[in-house]
Amino acid sequence: MTAQAKGRHTHNGGLPTVLVVNGPNLNLLGIREPEIYGHTTLEDINQQLSELGTELGIRVESFQSNSEGALVDRIQQARGIIDLIIINPAAYTHTSIAIRDALIAIEAPVIEVHLSNVYKRESF
Protein backbone atom coordinates (compact mmCIF):
# COMPACT_ATOMS: atom_id res chain seq x y z
CA MET A 1 0.00 0.00 0.00
CA THR A 2 1.28 3.45 -0.83
CA ALA A 3 1.97 6.16 1.71
CA GLN A 4 -1.15 7.96 0.50
CA ALA A 5 -3.41 5.04 1.43
CA LYS A 6 -1.73 4.01 4.71
CA GLY A 7 -3.72 4.67 7.80
CA ARG A 8 -6.96 5.36 5.97
CA HIS A 9 -10.11 3.99 7.49
CA THR A 10 -11.63 1.30 5.34
CA HIS A 11 -14.96 -0.38 5.72
CA ASN A 12 -13.86 -3.70 4.29
CA GLY A 13 -10.59 -4.11 6.20
CA GLY A 14 -8.51 -4.01 3.02
CA LEU A 15 -7.62 -1.27 0.62
CA PRO A 16 -9.72 1.89 0.70
CA THR A 17 -12.47 1.42 -1.86
CA VAL A 18 -13.94 4.05 -4.15
CA LEU A 19 -17.13 3.40 -6.09
CA VAL A 20 -17.40 5.39 -9.32
CA VAL A 21 -21.03 5.61 -10.46
CA ASN A 22 -21.96 6.80 -13.95
CA GLY A 23 -25.51 7.60 -14.97
CA PRO A 24 -27.51 7.44 -18.18
CA ASN A 25 -25.92 7.70 -21.60
CA LEU A 26 -22.37 7.77 -20.26
CA ASN A 27 -21.95 4.34 -21.83
CA LEU A 28 -22.01 6.30 -25.11
CA LEU A 29 -18.98 8.46 -24.31
CA GLY A 30 -16.71 8.75 -27.29
CA ILE A 31 -19.68 8.43 -29.64
CA ARG A 32 -22.33 10.84 -28.33
CA GLU A 33 -21.66 14.52 -28.97
CA PRO A 34 -17.85 14.27 -29.17
CA GLU A 35 -17.65 18.05 -29.65
CA ILE A 36 -18.87 18.37 -26.04
CA TYR A 37 -17.71 15.16 -24.37
CA GLY A 38 -14.65 14.23 -26.43
CA HIS A 39 -13.61 10.91 -27.90
CA THR A 40 -12.60 9.12 -24.72
CA THR A 41 -14.88 6.18 -23.94
CA LEU A 42 -16.21 5.19 -20.53
CA GLU A 43 -14.11 2.05 -20.78
CA ASP A 44 -11.02 4.24 -21.27
CA ILE A 45 -11.93 6.33 -18.22
CA ASN A 46 -12.57 3.25 -16.08
CA GLN A 47 -9.22 1.79 -17.10
CA GLN A 48 -7.42 5.02 -16.23
CA LEU A 49 -9.17 5.19 -12.85
CA SER A 50 -8.24 1.58 -12.11
CA GLU A 51 -4.58 2.25 -12.95
CA LEU A 52 -4.54 5.39 -10.81
CA GLY A 53 -6.15 3.47 -7.96
CA THR A 54 -3.43 0.84 -8.16
CA GLU A 55 -0.76 3.55 -8.02
CA LEU A 56 -2.42 5.13 -4.96
CA GLY A 57 -3.24 1.90 -3.15
CA ILE A 58 -6.98 2.36 -3.62
CA ARG A 59 -9.44 -0.17 -4.99
CA VAL A 60 -11.71 1.38 -7.65
CA GLU A 61 -15.04 -0.15 -8.59
CA SER A 62 -16.93 1.29 -11.55
CA PHE A 63 -20.63 1.02 -12.28
CA GLN A 64 -22.80 2.48 -15.05
CA SER A 65 -26.49 2.20 -15.70
CA ASN A 66 -29.13 4.00 -17.71
CA SER A 67 -31.70 2.96 -15.10
CA GLU A 68 -32.36 5.15 -12.07
CA GLY A 69 -33.43 2.13 -10.02
CA ALA A 70 -30.23 0.24 -10.80
CA LEU A 71 -28.17 3.26 -9.77
CA VAL A 72 -30.07 3.52 -6.47
CA ASP A 73 -29.66 -0.22 -5.86
CA ARG A 74 -25.90 -0.07 -6.44
CA ILE A 75 -25.48 2.96 -4.19
CA GLN A 76 -27.46 1.25 -1.42
CA GLN A 77 -25.33 -1.90 -1.77
CA ALA A 78 -22.26 0.25 -1.08
CA ARG A 79 -23.37 1.12 2.47
CA GLY A 80 -20.72 0.01 4.96
CA ILE A 81 -18.46 -1.34 2.19
CA ILE A 82 -17.37 1.69 0.19
CA ASP A 83 -15.18 4.46 1.61
CA LEU A 84 -16.08 7.07 -1.01
CA ILE A 85 -18.48 7.45 -3.93
CA ILE A 86 -17.69 9.53 -6.99
CA ILE A 87 -20.81 9.99 -9.06
CA ASN A 88 -21.67 11.50 -12.40
CA PRO A 89 -25.46 11.26 -12.30
CA ALA A 90 -25.69 12.73 -15.82
CA ALA A 91 -29.30 13.64 -16.65
CA TYR A 92 -30.42 12.56 -13.17
CA THR A 93 -28.55 15.55 -11.73
CA HIS A 94 -31.67 17.64 -12.25
CA THR A 95 -34.41 15.19 -11.43
CA SER A 96 -33.51 12.30 -9.13
CA ILE A 97 -34.57 12.65 -5.55
CA ALA A 98 -34.17 8.87 -5.24
CA ILE A 99 -30.44 9.01 -6.06
CA ARG A 100 -29.98 11.95 -3.70
CA ASP A 101 -31.71 10.08 -0.89
CA ALA A 102 -29.63 6.94 -1.52
CA LEU A 103 -26.41 8.95 -1.37
CA ILE A 104 -27.44 10.49 1.95
CA ALA A 105 -28.42 7.11 3.39
CA ILE A 106 -25.08 5.38 2.78
CA GLU A 107 -23.22 7.70 5.16
CA ALA A 108 -20.06 7.87 3.05
CA PRO A 109 -18.41 10.89 1.45
CA VAL A 110 -19.73 11.68 -2.03
CA ILE A 111 -18.15 13.70 -4.81
CA GLU A 112 -20.34 14.72 -7.75
CA VAL A 113 -18.54 15.26 -11.05
CA HIS A 114 -19.54 16.20 -14.58
CA LEU A 115 -17.74 16.04 -17.91
CA SER A 116 -19.02 19.42 -19.07
CA ASN A 117 -20.25 22.63 -17.49
CA VAL A 118 -23.82 21.86 -16.44
CA TYR A 119 -24.61 25.57 -16.13
CA LYS A 120 -23.86 26.14 -19.81
CA ARG A 121 -25.87 23.19 -21.12
CA GLU A 122 -29.42 23.33 -19.83
CA SER A 123 -31.63 26.24 -18.86
CA PHE A 124 -33.17 24.24 -16.01
Alpha-carbon distance of 94 to 74, in angstroms, equals 20
CB 1 within 8 A of CB 8: no
Closest CA to 94 of 65, 68, 73: 68
Is 11 tagged catalytic?
Answer: no
Is 119 tagged catalytic?
Answer: no
From the list 11, 39, 114, 119, the catalytic residue is 114
CB 88 within 8 A of CB 112: yes
CB 99 within 8 A of CB 92: yes
> Which bin fits 64, alpha (ψ -120 to 50), beta or left (φ > 0)?
beta
Residue 44 gets which letter from DSSP? H
From the list 9, 11, 37, 94, the catalytic residue is 37
Active site residues: 37, 114
